[in-house]
A and B are shown apart, each in its own frame.
Chain A
Amino acid sequence: DGGITQSPKYLFRKEGQNVTLSCEQNLNHDAMYWYRQDPGQGLRLIYYSQIVNDFQKGDIAEGYSVSREKKESFPLTVTSAQKNPTAFYLCASSIGTVVNEQFFGPGTRLTVL
């Protein structure tokens, strides 16, 4: 079955620690995206990558980092510089054409203790 997987589903972190969220897709999509969702707000774009070894900052990139070493994988690191990291994180992928229909993973809920 083709799809997008994210792990873990729930993640707890102590303040001051970096943490990495996994996102893998087997849809052969070129483009991948990371979003953050907070209550009452839309999905906000953190980072996106249109091709391997290339990525761009989204609207709220501060305190986050990414890598795109393989087409299938786009991990997101939440660093200690992110001031309010508790949120729900969604990963998505798309073919990468202008009509940008995106397919989403199940999400990771990060809680900072």
Chain B
Amino acid sequence: ILNVEQSPQSLHVQEGDSTNFTCSFPSSNFYALHWYRWETAKSPEALFVMTLNGDEKKKGRISATLNTKEGYSYLYIKGSQPEDSATYLCAFNPLYGNKLVFGAGTILRVKS
């Protein structure tokens, strides 16, 4: 069974703080790593799909890095805002097997 771990489980920060969280995944049979944002009462929406070791992706104040050799990805949020409050999910996309393996998520709460 493939194991995807996310840490921390939850995070409470003040508006303006920068924050980061981690996703650990198997380093073998790797094809891609996905990050999703899941706001309360909405559907999860895709943030990034990362495929190459050393990849860095950015969308506004949110960025992500990928290390496939050691099996981890970091998600960074610069200058957190209350609207960033959500659960952030990562998902391991193996090369073989048409399914994603999700981590349990990191719950971010940003206080104004």
Contacts and interface: CB of A to CB of B under 8 A. Distances in A.
A59 B89 CA distance: 18
A103 B1 CA distance: 24
Contacts of A48: 98-99
B37 to A, nearest CB: 11
A106 B32 CA distance: 24
Given A98-B95, A104-B44, A105-B43, A43 B89 contact: yes
Contacts of A50: 98
Interface in A58-113: 58-59, 90, 96, 98-107
Contacts of A98: 31-32, 93, 95, 98
Contacts of A2: none
Contacts of A4: 43
A41 B3 CA distance: 12
B49 A101 contact: yes
Given A45-B99, A48-B99, A50-B98, A99 B51 contact: yes
Contact of B31 (A42, A45, A99): A99
Contacts of B89: 42-43
Nearest to B1: A59
Nearest to A107: B43
B32 A43 contact: no
B104 A40 contact: yes
B102 interface: yes
A69 to B, nearest CB: 20
B49 A42 contact: no
8 contacts: A40-B9, A44-B102, A45-B99, A100-B34, A101-B46, A102-B34, A102-B100, A104-B43
Q: Which 6 pairs between the two chains have the least Cβ-Cβ distance?
A: A42-B102, A104-B43, A43-B102, A42-B104, A104-B44, A106-B43
Interface of B: 1, 4, 6, 9, 31-32, 34, 42-46, 49, 51, 89, 91, 93, 95, 98-105
